[in-house]
């Protein structure tokens, strides 16, 4: 029986991973360790919180002693590490928070796993969930491959790149059994409305300006979050130790084209005249150091583990909009309190 520690399981992607693991690995125990920062929300897991193979632990990965206690008390055998500060804009205003959680927090987990597993790693795995942003920024053509050189350009991506290096260093130096995946932009239910898609959906609902950075020509490769969770499960179960897998949607959109699609779909849903929401689009000051384009080549994952995205973008966007419109109280809860001052400072 495995005792699987998932970190950051109350967040956006983590909550979908926790649900999938609880429902898939029914004979194993899933521990969700999360500090419940502004981005963590146990509401995301209401449907599985009473499952017999699930337990929540509130803890901060910056707290080494607490991690040691958790590993010992729960006899942790496997780690799926998602806990992180995840928003690029916040990393520009508060970079050290990203060093503390993403770099030191990851190093704490690695060291705890190494010490607790006592160098006999036969039944263990440390799975580190990372981002395509570590590879830097692409021009108009080309893709990120697993062997693309690292070139992080924001404090967020630098902290994730650093954590990836620590994970690989523990593999090469101590033999810690690791896998890493680097994924493109996710979207879907439970996405915190500081990120592009849920922020736009929330603002369209409230007839608020839609802030597009720069000229809106930056390109992202969007993947439905449940497809990311499926990829993580596949890599957890069958990935080769020491390897890296890229995960992506083969679904590139410039920000302005994407926001236009959202506006039109929301107009239809909200019975507004077509074109009404597009009038809310407002071009604002560009993000500092804004990466132009990300695009993932996920051939390795398809060839080795048979994973492919299951949803077309049109269907994923429809499901996402439907989810936000049916979960207005979730949106209201997360956009009260700290969010109000964040939003005012960010978009003043
Ligand atoms: P998120 O911000 O929605 O959630 C992060 C979670 O981590 C929250 O529940 C938060 O409470 C928790 N957390 C933060 N600091 C912590 C700490 N010090 N100790 C314990 N828990 C802490 O993030 P997300 O978008 O779900 O991203 C999850 C992971 O996936 C991150 O590692 C991120 O880098 C990576 N990733 C995200 C995307 C994306 O598009 N969102 C794409 C690729 C990779
Ligand atoms: O590529 C994977 C990464 O994708 C993850 O590692 C990050 O955790 C995740 O936040 C995401 O980073 P991005 O910076 O690409 O996502 P974000 O939703 O913040 O922005 C998407 C694009 O939209 C980007 O080009 C900036 C732009 N944007 C964003 C916001 C919030 C705007 O034009 N206006 C906005 O208000």
pLDDT in tens, 208-227: 999 999 999 999 999 999 99
The CA distance from 21 to 9, in Å, is 11
Query: Sign of torsion, CA 131 103 75 9?
Result: negative
Which CATH number fits the domain 3-186+224-250+293-311, given the four candidates 3.40.630.40, 3.40.50.720, 3.30.70.360, 3.40.50.9100?
A: 3.40.50.720
Ligand 1, closest atom to CA 186? 40
- The protein residue whose alpha carbon is closest to atom 6 in ligand 2 is 131
Ligand 1 centroid, distance to 271 Cα (angstroms) = 35
**Residue 120: is its pLDDT beyond 90?**
no
Check pocket membership of 36 for ligand 1, CB cut-off 6 A.
yes
Counting residues of the chain whose pLDDT is more than 70, the rounded percentage is: 100
Q: Which residues line ligand 2 (CB under 6 A)?
A: 86-88, 131-133, 184-185, 195-196, 199, 211-213, 218, 220, 255, 287, 294
The pLDDT-based confidence of 161 (bands split at 50, 70, 90) is: very high
Check pocket membership of 131 for ligand 1, CB cut-off 6 A.
yes
And the tokens for 90? 């916040």
pTM of the predicted model as reported, rounded to 2 decimal places: 0.99
The CA distance from 190 to 207, in Å, is 21
60 in catalytic set:
no
174 in catalytic set:
no
The CA distance from 115 to 284, in Å, is 49
Q: What is the mean pLDDT of residues 132-142?
A: 97
Q: b/e for 70-102, b at 16 or more Cβ within 10 A?
A: bbeebebbbbbbbbbbbbbbbbbeebeebbbbb
**Residue 119: is its pLDDT beyond 80?**
no
Distances (CA, A) of 60 to 32, 40, 68, 74, 229: 12, 12, 12, 16, 23
- The protein residue whose alpha carbon is closest to atom 4 in ligand 1 is 11
And the tokens for 218? 């930056």
Ligand 1, closest atom to CA 195? 41
- The protein residue whose alpha carbon is closest to atom 14 in ligand 1 is 84
**Ligand 2 pocket mutation, candidates 153, 195, 201, criterion most atoms within 8 A of CB:** 195
Q: Which of 31, 54, 85, 133 is catalytic?
A: 133
Ligand 2 centroid, distance to 108 Cα (angstroms) = 27
Q: b/e for 39-69, b at 16 or more Cβ within 10 A?
A: bbbeebbeebeeeebbebbebbbeeeebbee
**Residue 5: is its pLDDT beyond 90?**
yes
Distances (CA, A) of 53 to 17, 28, 144, 270: 14, 7, 37, 40
Give per-residue pLDDT as tens, 181-200: 999 999 999 999 999 999 99
277: Cβ contacts below 8 Å, ≥ 6 apart = 204, 210, 262, 263, 264, 266, 267
**Residue 76: is its pLDDT beyond 90?**
yes
Q: Which ligand is nearest to the CA of 281?
A: 2
**Residue 8: is its pLDDT beyond 90?**
yes
Q: What is the mean pLDDT of residues 279-285?
A: 98
- Taking the CA atoms of residue 232, residue 158, residue 8 and residue 329 in that order, the dihedral angle to the nearest 10 degrees is -100
**Ligand 1 pocket mutation, candidates 13, 33, 298, criterion most atoms within 8 A of CB:** 13
Pairing of strands 252-254, 219-224: antiparallel
The CA distance from 66 to 68, in Å, is 5
Three-state SS string over 227-266 comes to HHHHHHHHHHHHCCCCCEEEECCCCEEEHHHHHHHHHHHH
Q: What is the mean pLDDT of residues 145-160?
A: 98
Check pocket membership of 129 for ligand 1, CB cut-off 6 A.
yes
Ligand 2 centroid, distance to 219 Cα (angstroms) = 10
Q: Which of 156, 170, 324, 343 is catalytic?
A: 156
Q: Which ligand is nearest to the CA of 127?
A: 1
Q: Which ligand is nearest to the CA of 220?
A: 2
Q: What is the mean pLDDT of residues 65-77?
A: 98
324 in catalytic set:
no
Per-residue pLDDT, 113 = 98
Report the chain's mean pLDDT, rounded to a whole number.
98
């Amino acid at each position: 029986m495995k005792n699987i520690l998932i970190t950051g399981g109350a967040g956006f992607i983590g909550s979908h991973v926790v649900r999938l693991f609880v429902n898939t690995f029914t004979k194993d125990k899933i521990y969700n360790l999360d500090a419940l920062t502004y981005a963590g929300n146990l509401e995301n897991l209401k449907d599985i919180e009473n499952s017999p193979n699930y337990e929540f632990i509130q803890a901060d990965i910056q707290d080494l002693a607490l991690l040691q206690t958790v590993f010992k008390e729960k006899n942790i055998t496997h780690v799926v590490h998602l806990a992180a500060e995840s928003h690029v804009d916040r990393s520009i205003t508060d970079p050290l928070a990203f060093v503390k959680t993403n770099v030191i927090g990851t190093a704490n987990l690695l060291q705890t796993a190494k010490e607790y597993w006592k160098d006999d790693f036969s039944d263990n795995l440390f799975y580190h969930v990372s981002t395509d942003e570590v590879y830097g920024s692409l021009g108009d053509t080309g893709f990120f491959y697993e062997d693309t050189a690292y070139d992080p350009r924001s404090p967020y991506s630098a902290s994730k790149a650093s954590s990836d290096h620590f994970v690989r260093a523990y593999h090469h130096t101590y033999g810690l059994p690791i896998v890493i995946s680097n994924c493109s932009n996710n979207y879907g239910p439970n996405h915190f409305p500081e990120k592009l898609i849920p922020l736009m959906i929330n603002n369209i609902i409230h007839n608020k300006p839609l802030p597009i950075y720069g000229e809106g020509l930056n390109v992202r490769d969007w993947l439905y979050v449940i497809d990311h969770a499926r990829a993580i499960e596949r890599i957890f179960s069958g990935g080769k130790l020491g390897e890296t897998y890229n995960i992506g949607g083969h679904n590139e959109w410039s920000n302005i084209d994407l926001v236009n699609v959202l506006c039109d779909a929301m107009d239809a849903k909200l019975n507004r005249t077509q074109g009404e929401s597009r009038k809310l689009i407002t071009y604002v000051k560009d993000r500092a150091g804004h990466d132009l384009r990300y695009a993932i080549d996920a051939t390795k994952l398809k060839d080795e583990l048979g994973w492919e995205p299951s949803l077309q973008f049109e269907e994923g966007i429809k499901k996402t909009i439907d989810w936000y419109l049916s979960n207005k109280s979730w949106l209201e809860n997360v956009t009260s309190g700290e969010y109000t001052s964040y939003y005012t400072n960010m978009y003043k």
